[in-house]
With several copies, the nearest count.
Chain A
Amino acid sequence: MVKVIFFASLRENLGTAELQVAVPEPASVASLVTQLVAVYGDHWALELNRDNVLVAVNQALAERHQVIVAGDEVAFFPPVTGG
């Protein structure tokens, strides 16, 4: 299982804070998105594929092509606005 978490506006727009998802091997961030869209619908494609949506795998920023495996933590979030 992969732990998938959403922050801020993304969490609100998806109505979801956290999911546990079984991913096939090999899987990538991109294939995970496809998998989520298949389950939750096109609204999720719109939200997760926005140009400015960032991804972190195991708490480090990652590209969409990054490989993910069971046990990973994958986070999706909008641009940061701290300080």
Chain B
Amino acid sequence: MFSTIRIQTAAFDVGAETRVLGQVSSQVGAITSFTGLVRDINDDAGVSSLYLEHYPGMTERQLAEIVAEAAERWQVLAATVIHRVGELRPTDPIVFVGVASLHRGDAFQACEYIIDYLKTRAAFWKKEQTEAGARWLTTRDSDLKTAANWQADDASPKKS
């Protein structure tokens, strides 16, 4: 399994990343990707910019762990996780998760698993600059529930 983890300030190129995933093996039949964008309205306060920080070393290690877990549960030929840090603006792409597999079911499930756990486990912190001033975000309950669903479902290979 080819695993690529990158944390960077620069933008990423979804086309290039998808191409690379498709080239790891002639067995790749399905590539799924998730791209997360900064939304302009988060919980109803106008967001003018977002600052992201991470824990260098630990964050990369956590992302590699999440990818490895996904590869244990589903058939994964290659996976790429890219997360941007630093200053971002509304509509900027912030995170990319791409998974290459033989079949689409595995690719979808593994991709969704990785982004769900990235949201609740990986050491990133977001500070929003809104009209009402700056504030550090707190973990969303909905994200915690979404990630917990995968555990409730450990016996089965599919998300409930």
* Direct contact between A and B judged by beta carbons closer than 8 A: yes
Question: Interface of A with B (CB < 8 Å)?
Answer: 5, 7-9, 12, 56, 59-60, 75, 77-83
Interface string of B120-160 (1 = CB under 8 A from A): 11111111000000001111100100000000000000000
Q: Give B50 Cβ to nearest chain A Cβ, in Å.
A: 10
Bound form: Cα–Cα A77–B62 in Å: 15
| Chain B residues whose CB sits within 8 angstroms of the CB of A82 once the complex forms | 52, 54, 83, 95, 118-119, 122-126
Q: In this assembly, does B57 line the interface, its C-beta being within 8 Å of a C-beta of chain A? A: yes
User: A9 and B136: CB pair below 8 A?
Assistant: yes
Given A7-B125, A82-B119, A56 and B139 contact (CB-CB distance below 8 Å): no
| Chain A residues whose CB sits within 8 angstroms of the CB of B2 once the complex forms | none
Q: Which of A9, A59, A80 is within 8 Å of B120, CB to CB?
A: A80
Pair count A-B, CB < 8 A: 67
- 7 more CB-based (< 8 A) A-B contacts, given A77-B55, A77-B125: A56-B58, A60-B58, A78-B125, A80-B123, A81-B137, A81-B138, A82-B124
Closest A residue to B143 by CB, please name it.
A83
Q: What is the size category of the interface that chain B forms with chain A?
A: 20 to 34
| Chain B residues whose CB sits within 8 angstroms of the CB of A81 once the complex forms | 124-126, 136-140
User: B136 and A83: CB pair below 8 A?
Assistant: no
Given A7-B55, A8-B136, A77 and B123 contact (CB-CB distance below 8 Å): yes
Q: In this assembly, does B61 line the interface, its C-beta being within 8 Å of a C-beta of chain A? A: yes
- What are 29 sample pairs from A and B whose C-beta atoms fall under 8 A apart? A8-B53, A9-B136, A12-B136, A56-B55, A56-B58, A56-B123, A59-B55, A59-B61, A75-B55, A75-B58, A77-B125, A78-B125, A78-B138, A79-B139, A80-B119, A80-B120, A80-B123, A80-B124, A81-B136, A81-B137, A82-B95, A82-B119, A82-B123, A82-B126, A83-B36, A83-B83, A83-B118, A83-B122, A83-B124
Bound form: Cα–Cα A80–B52 in Å: 11
Bound form: Cα–Cα A79–B144 in Å: 11
| Chain B residues whose CB sits within 8 angstroms of the CB of A78 once the complex forms | 125, 136, 138
